[in-house]
Amino acid sequence: MISIEKQLSVFLDNRPGMLARTCDALAKGQINLVALSIVDTLDHAIVRLVVSDAKKAATILKEHGTVQERDVVVMDLPNEPGVLAAIAKKLTAAGINIEYAYCTSPTTPGSGRLVLRTNDIESTISALS
């Protein structure tokens, strides 16, 4: 399965308790985390989230920091050697740049889920379908 999902990026101070406070607020709002990536800098952390209800989560997250919304490609794929290489080759052939990627928990045993942000989301779907 391959789909376009909304990813939320929240910029948090890089100090103890910020992620706990943010995740607690999402939990209280009954928002499930589907995928998560954290990149730290000296002063801030960028927390990228794919969630069960992006619109509601964005409202909650705005109380905790600056929030950006982006489209990303989320795809289920087999957990086997060479799968990511094949995806990267297809995107290269189509002239599509991968800006970043991260993995999340699988929906079925023996599989994985990949979240991709590229320079052209629609062309990414076409190249990988």
Walk along the chain (129 residues) and give the pLDDT tens digit of each residue. 899 999 999 998 888 898 999 999 999 999 999 999 999 888 889 999 999 999 999 999 998 778 999 999 999 888 889 999 999 999 999 999 999 999 887 767 777 889 999 999 999 999 998
Tokens 């290489």 locate to 85
Instruction: Write down the CATH number for the domain with range 2-70.
Output: 3.30.2130.10
DSSP state of 96: -
- Rg value, the chain, Cα: 15
Instruction: Tell me the Ramachandran region of residue 75: left when phi exceeds 0, alpha when psi lies from -120 to 50, beta otherwise.
Output: beta
Domain edges within the chain: 2-70, 72-128
Token pair of 62 as six digits: 């705005």
What CATH superfamily classification does 72-128 receive?
ACT domain (3.30.70.260)
* Nearest residue to 5 via CA among 105, 126, 128, 125: 125
pTM for the predicted model, two decimal places: 0.86
